[in-house]
């Protein structure tokens, strides 16, 4: 991937970090690239990141990054979420105090294996 392509990829992720629904045209206009370029990058990104696209309907289609995969400004990849689920799945024991159990449950839910 060349430098310009990496920059476009990073810029697309930056736009999607707000968790809102965007059209590909809107992203293309903001980045000064073609609609097709955005489509290609989003297709590539969606293999690694939890990016969802939809067509038609009331909003006439769009693309968004699932907010559940963003923590402290960092996007967790599908592989990272799956690894986290595996780690927290191994931490099952019974001698946690109530606060520790709540924290473990929260982390386990966050790292639940993505459905895709």
State whether CATH 3.90.1150.10 applies to domain 3-68: no
Where does the pLDDT of residue 27 fall: very low under 50, low under 70, confident under 90, or very high at 90 and above? very high
5-26 pLDDT per residue, tens = 778 998 998 898 887 889 889 9
Query: Is residue 87 predicted with pLDDT exceeding 90?
Result: no
Where does the pLDDT of residue 115 fall: very low under 50, low under 70, confident under 90, or very high at 90 and above? very low
Concatenating the DSSP letter of every residue in the chain gives --HHHHHHHHHHHHHHTT---B-HHHHHHHHTS-HHHHHHHHHHHTTTS-EEEE-STTTT-EEEE-GGGEETTEEPPHHHHHHHHHHHHTT--S---HHHHHHHHHHHHHTPPP--
50-71 pLDDT per residue, tens = 888 888 655 577 888 876 666 6
2-6, 57-61, 82-86 — which one is most confidently predicted on average?
82-86
Of 48, 107, 3, 1, give the one whose Cα is nearest residue 16. Answer: 48
83-97 mean pLDDT: 77
Query: Is residue 36 predicted with pLDDT exceeding 70?
Result: yes
């Amino acid at each position: 991937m060349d430098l310009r392509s990496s920059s476009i990829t990073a810029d697309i992720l930056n736009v999607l970090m707000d968790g809102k629904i965007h059209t590909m045209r809107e992203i293309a206009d903001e980045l000064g690239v073609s609609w097709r370029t955005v489509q290609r990058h989003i297709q590539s990104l969606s293999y690694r990141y939890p990016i969802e696209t939809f067509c038609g309907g009331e909003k006439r289609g769009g693309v968004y990054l699932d907010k559940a995969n963003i923590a402290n400004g960092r996007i967790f990849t599908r592989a990272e979420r799956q690894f986290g689920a595996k780690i927290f799945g191994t931490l099952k024991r019974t001698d946690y105090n109530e606060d520790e159990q709540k924290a473990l449950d929260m982390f386990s839910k966050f790292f639940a294996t993505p459905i895709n």
